[in-house]
Amino acid sequence: MKWILRRGDVTVARYEYGGDEFVFVELSEAMDLNINFKAMAITRQLKEENLPGILDICPSNASYMVRFDPDRIHPDKLISKLQGLEQSVSIDDFEISSRMVDVPVLFDDPWTHEALMRFRDRHQDPDSTDLEYVARINGFDSKEELIKAITDSPYLVSMIGFVPGLPWCYQMVPREQQIEAPKYVRPRTFTPERAFGLGGAFTVIYPVQGAGGYQLFGTAAAPIFDKDQRTYDFKDSITFPRQGDIFRYRSIDQKEYEEIRKTVEDGTFRYLTKDITFTPKQVLDDPKGFSEEVLRRLYA
């Protein structure tokens, strides 16, 4: 059953049952920062209210899902509550406390290059690499220009999903500057661990080796998943990224990549992070100025 709220001819949100224990809420079919902040604000408020019968809350890019105990709360009552939150929760006074993170990436590396070349028959343009293809369809003259655009402005970790710890990241730039690309026509059956890629408008880092369909650009030097929790960044969790983090992808060379890998292997690696508290208004009103402030503070 679907519950759809409308204002005029504009669909505001879609509410659906997910079996007996879940309610799915889609705030918008299109992702943008405003919608993502709204989802964060609603799910935070729902968590703070600690309603009886709510078992789990999972925020996403432009939607969220709630797991509930049907013996303690009726789904229609829960939907009414969520509809009320959609109307009452505002991002105007919403603060996000998170981390700015330096994420070193070796672009055009040999390992993801080997992987993507194995699957050219599944790609939109078998005669080019993923970097060359995405640079061309986004109007860049070279893959170097694309890499510069990726690294010039930071990304918001808008959700965690697909596999444990995988960060979906949306660049904090005006919509007209968003870099976008389709996924492969057919997915790869192999993607290296820590591969850095892009699909739609989202960048990701694959936590572990597996299948995948995002365009591959490089490899992250440091892990985002560590089941053994060997280094400082994993002392509290086997996964590193958190929704609301701000990632700055920094292009590195082979020498620095190998140096970082040595510190990961001996257990001494630690991400460069700085705490930050910000409001959606700061980002939405002046994304360029906010990005510059993030870079200044992160590397101060």
Q: How far is it, in rounded angstroms, from Cα 197 to Cα 218? A: 7
- Per-residue pLDDT tens over the stretch 201-229: 999 999 999 999 999 999 999 999 999 99
Torsion over CA: 222, 225, 230, 235 (sign): positive
Beta-carbon contacts of residue 217 (< 8 Å; ≥ 6 apart): 105, 107, 108, 112, 130, 131, 134, 147, 150, 196, 197, 198
- Give Cα separations from 263 to 31, 179, 238, 270 (angstroms): 37, 32, 18, 8
Residue 66 has, within 13 A of its CA and on its CB side, a CA count of 31
Check residue 161 and give its pLDDT: 86
- Per-residue pLDDT tens over the stretch 231-286: 999 999 999 999 999 999 999 999 999 999 999 999 999 999 999 999 999 999 99
Q: Which domains does the chain have, with CATH numbers?
A: 2-90 (3.30.1360.40), 97-298 (2.40.100.10)
Q: What is the mean pLDDT of residues 145-159?
A: 97
- Per-residue pLDDT tens over the stretch 187-202: 999 999 999 999 999 9
